[in-house]
Amino acid sequence: MYRVKNQLNWQEALEQGLTGRNITIAVLDTGIAAHPDFNGRIIAFKDFIHNKGKYYDDSSHGTHVCGIIAGNGSLSEGKFCGIAPMANLVVGKILDENGNGTIESMDRAIRWLIENRQVYHIRILNISIGTQMEDEATTKAIMECVEKAWNAGIIVVTAAGNGGPKLMSISSIGVSNKVLTVGCHDGGFFGTREDLCENYSGRGPTRFSLKKPDVVAPGTDIISCNGKIRKVRNTYQNPYVAKSGTSMATPIVSGACALYLEKYPSAGNDEVKQRIIYSARDMNENWTKQGWGMLDIQKLLQ
């Protein structure tokens, strides 16, 4: 996260004193673990898989995503803090321990978020989930599901998926023209490594001829909160872990949205999306790979 923030000019947020404070981000994923870096900012949890009452994460994927958004880095002296380290989190568990879920679970979760949007002041929804290429009817059902949240005024940030580099490989969750679809690009930081997530990040256009992704952000070897953290006596073991994929790039953009909303709290979801894409840094890549370009937090906040 330290190198990611350097790449994206996060220093601008620090200089302006922006941390995502009082902004609530909903995350639909595998859940969230009781990690010290969240420091009492998990304000609600709903389990749509096993109906458990207490928050948990039997996969670790959701915890990692939440750490990228809003971990405060307390166990790393700030080194691995997230993009919006004071933001609040509302977490819906819609995936099981293997990362599998259903449209029905996602639909129930989104309906619950909309019903409780005012209660928890939810402004952003992060969906770091990839889907296989679906038939047109299923794709439209998924689109309608995520668009419910957008139409309710929530900024929906979705992953482009890891189905690239072939064209038209954007995840079904990210094909809507309303949502903010995030691909992965590490901006040359790792040189020509073959396993870079930009080499398998979902590519546009969509089957509906829409230009996607909208923007890209780093997603290779992102170190964030580990859902399998353990406390032995007074020491935490394995507090952080590295993961790669568009699932990691997506919460970076969600965190940036929180910073923008903290500065401009009256901004609507359309305005935030426009500011994200119009302030992105062109990387001279094909549109199908980079969209409008790399997220640039300094330009976004200026």
Range in 93-97, 132-136, 241-245 the model is least confident about: 132-136
> What is the average per-residue pLDDT within 157-166?
96
Beta-bridge partner residues of 237: 230
Beta-bridge partner residues of 57: 31
Whether 132 has a pLDDT exceeding 80, the answer reads no
- Asked if the bond preceding 205 is cis, omega within 30° of 0, the reply is yes
Whether 253 has a pLDDT exceeding 90, the answer reads yes
Pairing of strands 42-47, 215-217: unpaired
Whether 147 has a pLDDT exceeding 90, the answer reads yes
Give pLDDT, residue 133: 59
Beta-bridge partner residues of 281: 294
Q: Name the phi and psi angles at 50, rounded to 5.
A: -115, 0
DSSP E strands in the chain: the ranges are 24-29, 42-47, 88-93, 122-127, 155-159, 180-184, 215-217, 222-225, 230-232, 235-237, 240-243
Give the C-alpha distances (Å, rounded to integers) separating 109 from 8, 96, 105, 130, 245: 31, 14, 6, 17, 23
pLDDT bracket for residue 218 (50, 70, 90): very high
Tokens at residue 249, please?
């790039």
Whether 134 has a pLDDT exceeding 70, the answer reads no
Cα separation of 238 and 229, whole Å?
5
Tokens at residue 254, please?
């969600």
- Residue matched to tokens 């964030």: 224
Tokens at residue 108, please?
């129930």
Cα separation of 222 and 82, whole Å?
11
What 3-state DSSP class applies to 222?
strand
Cβ-contact 248, 225 below 8 angstroms: no
pLDDT bracket for residue 136 (50, 70, 90): confident
pLDDT bracket for residue 130 (50, 70, 90): confident
Whether 117 has a pLDDT exceeding 70, the answer reads yes
Single-letter code of the amino acid located at 158: T
What 3-state DSSP class applies to 236?
strand
- Residue matched to tokens 């952080």: 240
Cβ-contact 73, 88 below 8 angstroms: no
The fold of the 2-301 domain, in CATH, is Rossmann fold (3.40.50)
Give pLDDT, residue 138: 82
Whether 135 has a pLDDT exceeding 80, the answer reads no
CA within 13 Å, CB half, 13 = 27
Query: Burial of 125 by CB count in 10 Å (0-12 exposed, 13-18 middle, 19+ buried)?
Result: buried
Whether 155 has a pLDDT exceeding 80, the answer reads yes
Give pLDDT, residue 100: 92
The catalytic residues are: 29, 61, 247
